[in-house]
Amino acid sequence: MRAQVRTHPVFIPSIDKRQYGRWKDGVRAVPCQPMETIKGGDRELSEYRLEMRGVVKTFPGVKALDHAQLNLRPGTVHALMGENGAGKSTLMKCMFGIYHMDQGEVIYEGEKVQIKGPLDALNRGIAMVHQELQPIPERSIGENIYVGRYPTRRLGPIVTIDHEKMYTDAAAVLKEVHLNFDPRAKLGSLSVSQMQLVEIAKAVSADCKVLILDEPTSSLTAAEVEALFTIVNELRAKGVSIVYISHKMDEILRISDEVTIMRDGQYIGTWDAKGLTTDFIITKMVGRELSNLFPKRENVPGEVVFEVEDFTSINPKSFRHASFSVRKGEILGVAGLVGAQRTELMEGLFGLRSHTAGKITYQGKDLKINQPKDAINSGIAMLTEDRRATGILGVLSIADNVSIASLNQYLIGGIMLDDGKIERLVQENVAKLSIKTPSSKTQIQSLSGGNQQKVLISRWLANDPDIFILDEPTRGIDVGAKYEIYCIIAELAKQGKSIIMISSEMSELIGMSDRIMVMCDGRVTGFIDGQEANQENIMALATQFE
Confidence of residue 61 (pLDDT cuts 50, 70, 90): low
Q: Can you give the pLDDT at residue 161? A: 87
Cβ neighbours, 10 Å, residue 357: 12
CA-CA distances (angstroms) from residue 442 to 263, 395, 481, 536, 546? 22, 9, 20, 45, 50
Mean pLDDT, rounded, for 158-166 = 89
Q: Can you give the pLDDT at residue 270? A: 94
Between 161 and 40, name the one with better pLDDT.
161
In this structure, of 17-21, 97-101, 224-228, the range with the lowest mean pLDDT score is: 17-21
SS3 labels along 412-473 = ECCCEECHHHHHHHHHHHHHHCCCCCCCCCCEHHHCCHHHHHHHHHHHHHCCCCCEEEEECC
Q: Which of 276, 265, 239 is nearest to 72 (CA)?
A: 239
Q: CB of 374 within 8 A of CB of 368?
A: yes
Q: Which of 96, 117, 174, 175 is nearest to 140 (CA)?
A: 174
Percentage, residues of the chain above pLDDT 70? 89
Predicted TM-score (pTM) of this structure? 0.62
Confidence of residue 356 (pLDDT cuts 50, 70, 90): very high
Q: Can you give the pLDDT at residue 99? A: 92
Q: In sequence order, which residues have a C-beta less than 8 Å from that of residue 390 and are 6 or more positions away?
A: 384
Tell me which range, 48-62, 311-325, 447-461, is most confidently predicted by mean pLDDT: 311-325
CA-CA distances (angstroms) from residue 369 to 246, 266, 307, 502, 517? 38, 49, 13, 20, 22
pLDDT digits (tens, 9 = 90+) for 187-245: 888 877 788 788 888 888 888 899 999 888 766 777 778 888 988 999 999 999 999 99
Q: Can you give the pLDDT at residue 228? A: 86
pLDDT over 50 (residue 1)? no
Q: CB of 453 within 8 A of CB of 481?
A: yes
Confidence of residue 391 (pLDDT cuts 50, 70, 90): confident
pLDDT digits (tens, 9 = 90+) for 122-133: 889 999 888 766
Q: Can you give the pLDDT at residue 291? A: 59
Cβ neighbours, 10 Å, residue 223: 10
SS3 labels along 302-341 = CCEEEEEEEEEECCCCCCCCEEEEEECCCEEEEECCCCCC
pLDDT over 60 (residue 279)? yes
